[in-house]
Amino acid sequence: MTPKKKQEKTVSKSDSQSKPKNTGPGEEIASSLETLIAALSSHDDGVRMRARHSLVAMGKAALPSLIAALKNKNNLVRWEAAKALGEIGDPKAAPDLVKALEDEDFDIRWLAAVALIEMNIKALKPLLHALMEQGDSILIREGAHHVIHDLAKGGLRKYLAQVLSALEGIEPTADVPKAAFRALEMLEKEHKLLDAWSHTF
């Protein structure tokens, strides 16, 4: 009788170990995001590209993880995160992309600027605020010049021309914050930013 009981216990233990754990959709998404973000550090270009494409396909669900990845110590991860955020194009990432204009890596700064250009007017509020508060930052000014130079070619020129002029002037540290303030004031008075941001959140 004793051997039989031991055998029954063994089978029961084996059965319990083989049963899959129940995971909800939220846990599965979180696990998938963690795996995909980790893959962005791969030295295999194909692995990184596939991970980025998967994250872009997830859209808004991937935003918090990608935004956090902009602060990763690994340059590859930050590059892929900036690229993915630009491809998703959600303005909620704009403030963090503005911060990425000060990244130590030129390519990441370039991607952040390109992403902000794609967001168009919806990127202007955090960008202009950064110029008002960090007008002494050469990197912020360089990144903002890239963005504003492109956006000023269209219908936003009347708002951004003075900022562009200040960025290209001889005393940008003093003039840029003032020009950014005036541009933001003009945009808000005409409800341009209000309309643009009302459909964002």
Per-residue pLDDT at 19 exceeds 50: no
Per-residue pLDDT at 200 exceeds 50: no
What does the alpha-carbon distance between residue 164 and residue 147 come to, in Å, rounded to a whole number? Answer: 10
Question: How far does Cα 150 stand from its chain's mean position?
Answer: 20
Percent of the chain with pLDDT over 90: 74
- Give pLDDT, residue 193: 56
Structure tokens at 3: 């051997």
pLDDT tens, residue by residue, 72-119 = 999 999 999 999 999 999 999 999 999 999 999 999 999 999 999 999
Domains identified in the chain and CATH numbers? 25-88 (1.25.10.10), 92-201 (1.25.10)
- Give pLDDT, residue 29: 56
Which carries the bigger pLDDT value, residue 94 or residue 7?
94
Q: Which residues of 114-128 are buried (b: 16+ CB within 10 A; e: fewer)?
A: bbbbbbbbbbbbbbb
What mean pLDDT do residues 145-173 have?
A: 94
Structure tokens at 81: 């995160």
Per-residue pLDDT at 63 exceeds 80: yes
- Give pLDDT, residue 1: 47
What mean pLDDT do residues 163-185 have?
A: 96
Per-residue pLDDT at 20 exceeds 60: no
Grade residue 155 by pLDDT with cuts at 50, 70 and 90. confident
Per-residue pLDDT at 134 exceeds 90: yes
pTM of the full structure: 0.80
Per-residue pLDDT at 120 exceeds 90: yes
Per-residue pLDDT at 163 exceeds 80: yes
